[in-house]
């Protein structure tokens, strides 16, 4: 009996030593032993993901998580849906256009969707630079820049029953790759996938005229599901 008790105690001590070694080896990031218990933003902290971007050496578990592309339940009826997952950073009206700015974190689904049914009028590339660690004010300003002064982005222009809309997939230093899957002349359903980005960045929806959106700044939205406007007219 004494030998069994000793063996159990030694086993517990060995497990504790192993757990402490894992903590020490992975510090300041989470130990593999507790990662499955953590939410994504704690499992793969921002600093760790940024280091992977720098070295181009990503954790396979993170890549599998990031590549997820869940099915979405597209709401029926006359409404606009969010083109992306993320948090609304800004809603603004400038020069006859309403802008809805959605920021995507490293842990959001990065598949971009069509906000309303229509036909692809054009797919363009614009911008020359990749932003990196910009201040909040600089980031907000960059969303409205055009042509060469703008950050690198792909712009999908849609002809819809509500007017011409643009979905802008904007990259940064941390998200330097964009894939657009649609082409000019293609008819898209509401909520249909139109492209994706690698790692956190920004999606901007441009709507014609001054549109009153029930969505709010800092609201979390889900691409293809969250309704951002109701009705058969934007005005």
Per the prediction, the chain carries an average pLDDT of 82
Q: Is the pLDDT of residue 112 over 70?
A: yes
Kindly state whether residues 83 and 59 are assigned to the same domain.
no
Kindly state whether residues 19 and 109 are assigned to the same domain.
no
Kindly state whether residues 123 and 42 are assigned to the same domain.
no
Kindly state whether residues 84 and 187 are assigned to the same domain.
yes
Structure-model confidence comparison of residues 19 and 34, the more confident one: 34
Beta bridge partners of 51: none
- Condensed to tens digits (0 to 9), the pLDDT of residues 117-140 reads 999 999 998 765 555 545 555 555
Mean pLDDT of 16-43: 68
Q: At which of 10, 35, 66 does a domain end?
A: 66
What is the three-class DSSP state of 181?
Answer: coil
Residue 235: inside a domain: no
Beta bridge partners of 129: 151
How many structural domains comprise the chain?
2
Q: Is the pLDDT of residue 37 over 90?
A: no
Q: Is the pLDDT of residue 31 over 80?
A: no
Taking Cα atoms as reference points, which of 180, 196, 177 lies closest to residue 122? Answer: 180
Residue 104: inside a domain: yes
- Sign for the CA dihedral angle at 67, 22, 47, 152 comes to negative
- Please name the residues in contact with 132: beta carbons below 8 A apart, sequence gap of 6 or more: 172, 173, 174
Token digits of residue 138: 């600089």
Kindly state whether residues 38 and 138 are assigned to the same domain.
no
Least confident of 18-27, 31-40, 161-170: 18-27
Place of tokens 């959605």: 102
d(CA 131, CA 22): 35
Kindly state whether residues 84 and 156 are assigned to the same domain.
yes
Kindly state whether residues 59 and 138 are assigned to the same domain.
no
Residue numbers of the domain that contains 52: 2-66
Residue 219: inside a domain: yes
Residue 166: inside a domain: yes
What is the CATH number for 95? 2.70.70.10
- Please name the residues in contact with 180: beta carbons below 8 A apart, sequence gap of 6 or more: 123, 154, 156, 169, 194, 195
Residue 71: inside a domain: no
Kindly state whether residues 83 and 197 are assigned to the same domain.
yes
Mean pLDDT of 76-88: 95
Neighbours of 147 (CB within 10 A): 8
Residue 176: inside a domain: yes
- Condensed to tens digits (0 to 9), the pLDDT of residues 155-209 reads 999 999 999 999 999 886 555 578 899 999 999 999 999 999 887 688 999 999 9
Kindly state whether residues 34 and 139 are assigned to the same domain.
no
Kindly state whether residues 90 and 58 are assigned to the same domain.
no
Residue 223: inside a domain: yes
- Per-residue confidence (pLDDT) for residue 134, from 0 to 100: 52
Kindly state whether residues 93 and 13 are assigned to the same domain.
no
Question: How many CA atoms, within 13 angstroms, populate the side-chain half-sphere of residue 59?
Answer: 17
Residue 159: inside a domain: yes
- Per-residue confidence (pLDDT) for residue 28, from 0 to 100: 65
Instruction: Answer for the pair 182, 123: CB distance below 8 angstroms, yes or no.
Output: yes
- Per-residue confidence (pLDDT) for residue 179, from 0 to 100: 87
Kindly state whether residues 116 and 9 are assigned to the same domain.
no
């Amino acid at each position: 009996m004494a030998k069994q008790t000793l063996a159990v105690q030694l086993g517990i001590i060995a497990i504790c030593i192993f757990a402490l070694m894992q903590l020490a080896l992975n510090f300041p990031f989470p130990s593999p032993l507790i990662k499955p218990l953590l939410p994504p933003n704690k499992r793969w902290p921002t600093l760790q993901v940024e280091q992977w971007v720098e070295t181009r050496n990503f954790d396979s578990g993170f890549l599998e998580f990031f590549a997820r592309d869940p099915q979405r339940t597209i709401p029926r009826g006359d409404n606009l849906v969010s083109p992306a997952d993320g948090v609304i950073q800004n809603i603004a009206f400038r020069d006859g256009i309403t802008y809805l700015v959605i920021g995507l974190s490293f842990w959001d689904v990065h598949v971009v969707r069509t906000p309303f049914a229509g036909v692809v009028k054009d797919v363009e590339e614009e911008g020359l630079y990749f932003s990196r660690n910009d201040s909040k004010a600089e980031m907000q300003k960059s969303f409205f820049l055009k042509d060469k002064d703008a950050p690198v982005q792909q712009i999908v222009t849609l002809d819809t029953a509500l007017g011409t809309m643009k979905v802008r997939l904007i990259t940064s230093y941390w998200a330097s790759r964009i894939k657009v899957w649609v082409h000019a002349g293609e008819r898209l359903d509401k909520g249909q996938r139109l492209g994706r980005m690698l790692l956190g960045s920004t999606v901007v929806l441009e709507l014609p005229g001054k549109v009153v959106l029930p969505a709010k700044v800092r609201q979390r939205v889900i691409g293809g599901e969250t309704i951002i406007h109701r009705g058969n007219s934007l005005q």
